[in-house]
Amino acid sequence: MSSPTPSSGGPRSDVGRWGGNPWRPPTTPSPEPEPEPDRRSRRGGRSFWARCCGCCSCRNAEDDDWGPERRGDRGGRGSGSRSRRPDSRGSDSRGSDSRRSDSRRPGSRGSAVNAAGDGTIRDGMLVVTGMDLLSSRSDQNRREHHTDEFEYDELILRRGQPFHMVLFLSRPYESSDHVTLELCIGNNPEVGKGTHVIIPVGKGGSGGWKAQVTKSSGQNLNLRVHTSPNAIIGKFQFTVRTRCKAGEFQLPFDPRNEIYILFNPWCPEDIVYVDHEDWRQEYVLNESGRIYYGTEAQIGERTWNYGQFDHGVLDACLYILDRRGMPYGGRRDPVSVSRVISAMVNSLDDNGVLIGNWSGDYSRGTNPSAWVGSVEILLSYLRTGNSVPFGQCWVFAGVTTTVLRCLGLATRTVTNFNSAHDTDTSLTMDIYFDENMKPLEHLNHDSVWNFHVWNDCWMKRPDLPSGFDGWQVVDATPQETSSGIFCCGPCSVQSIKNGLVYMKYDTPFIFAEVNSDKVYWQRQDDGSFKIVYVEEKAIGSLIITKAIGSNMREDVTHTYKHPEGSEAERKAVETAAAHGSKPNVYATRDSTEDVAMQVEAQDAVMGQDLTVCVVLTNRGSSPRTVKLHLYLSVTFYTGVTGSVFKESKKEVVLAPGASERVTMPVAYKEYRAQLVDQGAMLLNVSGHVKENGQVLAKQHTFRLRTPDLSLTLLGAAVVGQECEVQIVFKNPLPVTLTNVVFRLEGSGLQRPKILNVGDIGGNETVTLRQTFVPVRPGPRQLIASLDSPQLSQVHGVIQVDVAPAGGGGAFSDIRGSGRSRETIPMASRGGA
């Protein structure tokens, strides 16, 4: 991989593996996306689904559920995920699309029908005059299904669990009356596909669907309806049919009676079932979390607003499935759903949610470090249909967590430090040097990311042999293609741990990310290459996620790999390597090592001087002379480095058992013009032991810390009442920050808000005050970030404990209309 040279004089470039997919703004912005090409006419006629998912390659050509969306039909009839905008509340905005239903759809005509189809209501017919789905957030259904936090008025259910409803009739219900409930989803609902569900009341249905009368009182009929644990997830139209001696009646479809059905981790019969309530509270219901970044020795953390229950987010999640034309039959399977989400969260191939950008130039979008949550991103995609600029791995992972939690999958965001990107399927990270141990960049195509963020989601894997249920890796960051598509997973963590790289999906790539070895090759005089050093603990050195029920870190490395150096770990690595492109890579390995080397870097803050240090230790019984070279460069977190801006050469003599420290000071003025995203630097150390020919090689990455924003709540927070927060920031640099933008967001507190504050002088302190109106009670997280061309990765968070409204109402009807933008006048800024 070529190494760009970062500079302050112009845009930086990190073309790397995304060089062939540069983002360009549309020539004429349009609120609607251009129609997508029919994927079935490309790549030898194989559809997106045939290439992405092996189980989807045997469909019938007549199946209209397959294939991309049609222009003007985004969201489709039945799913309804595009029929309601994020800022709409009434039924008017939903009804137009829904009433254009196919004539075969029950109840789509908009008027009552009888057996003759003429709409005549005869005496004695059992007419349904209305229904109550008990869909309010405070009603029994929403509480029992753990969906009461969704900022929606419709009924939201988790499959495999009963719900209650009431039918209002024209006369008392009699035992001879027949009542049938019907649910439909998709353009052409069919019973055989599960897109048309028929539930005769009192007789039991098929596939786990059934309905029973719990109470008949006057003209009210109370029902208990059981949904199938294998139901399709999505937005269903709902109607009722009745039949008696006087004739048949069908209730017209009403958009207010649409029903969302989600996966159910509380249901033992659902393959996404999680048998730990604290896990479900954390991985399904928690609306915020921590995402970790930086390096293993200098771990940074930021709070992310997942916001899966915010108004409009559920529609956005279903729109993602609709946008790619996912077959409704496949939407009952979490394996298929998670795989398409990994493809659709990035924009490559399918105009998905986020455009990746690792160039350092974000002038035509948002710096990935500036996002504070997923809500603004998803609502923008739902509102416009256009991919949102820009994202990097933690943004892709944060959005994926939101989508999967929203749909009902237990999901967590995971960070892997020293994450490898294996480009040649060797399952090793290969670094090539010349005879003098100078890197041969034109051969070094593999890279090691300082950190990489992906997702674990919990499910059974009926498509795999037993023993591979549980956590599955899903990675939406577009790195390499899988079956021709930029997607990754789901991949069983157990298969990764044991090196079973032949298990689907994408196990070889993920195994290499966490458990491969870094292999140093030196060119010999005859032009051949020889392994001179193997770092067995360099890759996947630490894998962490947010702990359950707290903001502490949880080390999950042991779930991905056996203890480093153990027999089981070595067996897993070498078993996996045997299936790679270099099965005999370990055969030429040398083992003469009596001088040890360790690299240290002090904890430095952006704008300050720093010192790096190399410690050499002679573990042998004879003196050793070491010639040492140190090269310092800046690096993107993806492992792409800039040119060397400082180097040092020293010769050190070590007595037996002695240690020696070699230091290299670095002044702020030396690195200031070189800095790139994340403020990371790479120290390359190479050495040669004169007496025995031992080669020393080490790559050490460290980062410069950025300051935090300080948030203070000014007064008590109560649902429906205005509250104020104060944000304080001090510029750590002696230079002016230009075009500074703050972002503020918090589920149940504040819809995404952008604050433009202009310039902030060198070492200046600014103070902002902002008001917000909480809409949901309980503990909430208010998150802020700061971004400017000179400084990014600045954020802060405060917990806000919101009290219920004084009138006893748990929720407020106040809803934002998506993102808001505001320019902060100079008068509201604090002094230096």
DSSP H or E stretch at residue 702: strand 695-703
Torsion of CA 232, 234, 239, 242, to 10 degrees: 10
* Bridging pattern class, strands 429-433 and 388-391: unpaired
Go through 155-179 and write b for each residue having 16 or more CB atoms within 10 A of its CB, e for each that does not: bbbbbbbbbbbbbebeeebeeebeb
Among 310, 475, 517, 677, which one carries the catalytic annotation?
475
Clarify whether 475 is annotated catalytic.
yes
Instruction: Kindly list the averaged pLDDT for each block of 10 residues, start to end, along the chain of length 832.
Output: 37 31 36 36 42 43 37 40 38 36 39 54 91 94 97 97 97 94 93 93 83 96 97 97 94 93 98 97 97 91 97 97 93 96 91 92 94 97 96 97 98 94 65 78 77 96 94 88 74 91 85 81 88 81 95 96 80 68 51 80 80 91 90 80 84 91 89 78 86 84 88 95 96 92 95 94 94 95 94 94 76 55 49 35
pLDDT for 692 equals 86
Containing 669, the helix (H) or strand (E) segment is: helix 668-671
Alpha-carbon gap, residue 483 to 245, rounded angstroms: 57
Task: Note whether 679 and 616 are within 8 A (CB).
Answer: no
Strand pairing partners for 262?
A: 158
Q: Where are the alpha helices (DSSP H) in 534-592?
A: 557-560, 567-578
CB 816 within 8 A of CB 323: no
Selecting among 196, 311, 452, 795, the annotated active-site residue is 452
Q: What per-residue confidence (pLDDT) applies to 231?
A: 97
Q: What is the pLDDT of residue 823?
A: 58
- What pTM does this model have? 0.81
Radius of gyration of the chain (CA): 30
pLDDT of residue 350: 84
Out of 53, 393, 406, 723, pick the active-site residue: 393
Active site residue 275: no
Asked if 158 contacts 150 with a C-beta cutoff of 8 angstroms, the reply is no
Backbone angles phi, psi at 106, to 5 degrees: -60, 135
Are residues 227 and 261 in contact, defined by beta-carbon separation less than 8 angstroms?
yes
Q: Using the 8-state DSSP alphabet, how is residue 293 labeled?
A: E
pLDDT of the residue at 582: 52
- The single-letter code of the amino acid at 576 is A
* pLDDT of the residue at 635: 81
Beta bridge pairs of residue 196: 184
What is the β-pairing status of strands 411-421 and 288-294? unpaired
Catalytic, 463? Answer: no
Q: Is 603 exposed, middle or buried (0-12, 13-18, 19+ CB in 10 A)?
A: exposed
Residue 345: name the closest of 290, 309, 283, 388 by CA: 388
* Gap between the terminal Cα atoms of the chain: 44
Element (H, E) at 510: helix 507-515
Quick one: tokens of 696?
């020393």
Q: What is the DSSP letter of 177?
A: -
Q: What are phi and psi of 249, to 5 degrees?
A: -135, 145
In Å, how far are 103, 132, 745 from 168, measured between CA atoms? 26, 8, 42
Residue 336 neighbours by CB under 8 Å, 6+ apart: 53, 55, 56, 326, 330
- As given in the structure block, the two tokens for residue 808 are 């006893």
Rounded CA separation 397/284 (Å): 15
Contact 353/399 with Cβ under 8 angstroms? Answer: yes
Query: What span, in angstroms and rounded, lies between the C-alpha atoms of 488 and 346?
Result: 11
